[in-house]
Each structure stands twice: as C-alpha cells, then as structure tokens.
Amino acid sequence: MRLLTHNMLSSNIKGVTNGFPLRIEVEKVVEKPVDFNADFLKNMFAKIEWKALVDASRILGYAELPDEAEPSMLDSDDFLKKFHHALLELHLEEGALVCPETDRRFPVTKGIPNMLLHEDEDINNSAAFLNADTV
C-alpha cells in the first residue's frame, strides 16, 4: 500500500464521524521505484492532506518531508522528488490500518489492505436499507 492510497482511505465503519486518517501499524516496509511524473504530483498535491502524509511517511521511516508545504514548493525539483518518494515509492507491505475512533484494525497483507467491514460495522446492514427496494 502506497501513502497515496493511505491518504485517501477512511474508516467507513457505521457511526464513525471522522475515520481519517487511519493510524498505521508497521511490520514491514518496502521501497519500490516508480517513474516520475510531475503532472501527477502537481495534481495530487492539491488533494493530499499534507499532515497525514508527513506523519505516515515518518512512521514508514522516511523523515524528509517538511512539516508544512505550499504550492510554490512544487517549483523545486528537490521537493518534488521527496514528495514523489513519500507518495509513491514507500510501501507498507505488512501491518495494519487502524480506525482512529474505534481502534478497529484493517490488516495489510502483501501490500494489500483489506477494508471489508464485518456485518455489524456496515452501514448498509440495516433492515431499512435492505428493504427499501423498488424492484
């Protein structure tokens, strides 16, 4: 799982008000090179929750990102490369993502998060939802 993905993931457990960001439990981190694409980085910069990215990258062992960032920094190659590295090249291979409100662990195995909810956690799990069927 890349930090790009982590920055998008949110706990969707029923009743949770703010499930982002998920806390990270690290067991294994892997680095894999990715081709550089400045367009993509600039596009993503606007979407990224910066603090969550910085915190997550540090947990994965990378401390090069500045605490705060502004769009003007995208002109700097050095900044772009660090942003690129943190966003795309660090992988959580084994570990877990933890809901900030419920402490529910979503396992990450072979780099794949499993975000499936149990029945009692799923907002779609309600008689009202299932019975509101107009077919």
Partner 1 sequence: MVFNGARTRRCLNELGGLIFPAVVLNCVHHPRIFSTMNEIKADGASILCTPVSDVDSHVQQSASVRLDHGCSSSSVQSTPEIEKKYVHHVYDAIAPHFSSTRFAKWPKVATFLNSLPSGSLVLDAGCGNGKYLGLNPNCFFIGCDISAPLINICADRGDEVLVADAVNLPYRTGYGDAAISIAVLHHLSTENRRKKAIDELVRVVKKGGHVLITVWAVEQEDRSLVNKWTPLTQKYLEEWVAPSSLRIRSPSSVTLESIPEAEENGLGEHLKDCNEISSTMKLQENMHLASQSNDHSGAFINGKNIENQQEFFVPWHLPYHRAEVSGASACALANGLAKKDDKKGAVVYNRYYHVFSDGELERLASGMDNAVVVDRFYDKSNWCIILKKTL
Site for partner 1 (CB under 8 A): which residue of 10, 25, 55, 64? 10
| Distance separating alpha carbons of residues 74 and 79, to the nearest angstrom | 7
Is the bond into 113 cis (omega within 30 degrees of 0)? Answer: no
In sign, the C-alpha dihedral spanning 50, 8, 55, 42 is: negative
- For residue 103, the number of C-alpha atoms closer than 13 Å in the C-beta half-sphere is 0
| Distance separating alpha carbons of residues 94 and 120, to the nearest angstrom | 26
| Distance separating alpha carbons of residues 19 and 76, to the nearest angstrom | 33
Helix (H, G, I), strand (E, B) or coil at 118: coil
Nearer to partner 1, 63 or 120 (CB): 120
76 contacts partner 1 (rule: CB under 8 A): no
130 contacts partner 1 (rule: CB under 8 A): yes
36 contacts partner 1 (rule: CB under 8 A): yes
Span interacting with partner 1, options 30-38, 57-65, 73-81, rule CB under 8 A = 30-38
Span interacting with partner 1, options 5-13, 55-63, 65-73, 74-82, rule CB under 8 A = 5-13
Site for partner 1 (CB under 8 A): which residue of 28, 29, 32, 65? 32
Site for partner 1 (CB under 8 A): which residue of 34, 74, 80, 98? 34
The contact set with partner 1 (CB under 8 A) reads: 1-2, 4-5, 7-12, 20, 32-37, 39-44, 47, 107, 109-119, 122-127, 129-135
